[in-house]
Amino acid sequence: MADIKQEKGRFYIGNSDQPDAEVTFTESDDIVIEHTMVIEDKQGAGIGKQLIDRVVDYASEQEKQIVPVCTFAHEILSTDKKYDGVWEGPL
């Protein structure tokens, strides 16, 4: 598992200024996942999914639902039953 760090409105891996991967979100009544990014040479290793899983854990801790505006996040959340009940869809 990658070392996932947190800042306001995002989780990321690597350097804060130029992360290897990140997921950004806004938070109010829900957590809206806006964007997920993984640098090209790290793609395909499951890092993006790890970031989405971290947002799911965070949403659960905050007792909030996820709204996936990001198409990658929507794909991950909508294709695995383990995410049922934690997100609002469809996109």
Q: How many domains does the chain have?
A: 1
pLDDT at 88: 85
* Chain segment 36-52, per-residue pLDDT in tens: 999 999 999 999 999 99
pTM: 0.93
**In a 10 Å sphere around its CB, with 0-12 CB exposed, 13-18 middle and 19+ buried, how is residue 83 labelled?**
middle
Rounded to the nearest 10 degrees, what angle do helices 71-78 and 47-62 cross at?
80
Only one residue has tokens 């290793």, namely 45
Domain that holds residue 66: 4-83
Cβ-based neighbour number of residue 38 at 10 Å: 22
Only one residue has tokens 């957590």, namely 31
* Chain segment 60-91, per-residue pLDDT in tens: 999 999 999 999 999 999 999 999 999 987 54
Residue 91 lies in a domain: no
Residue 89 lies in a domain: no
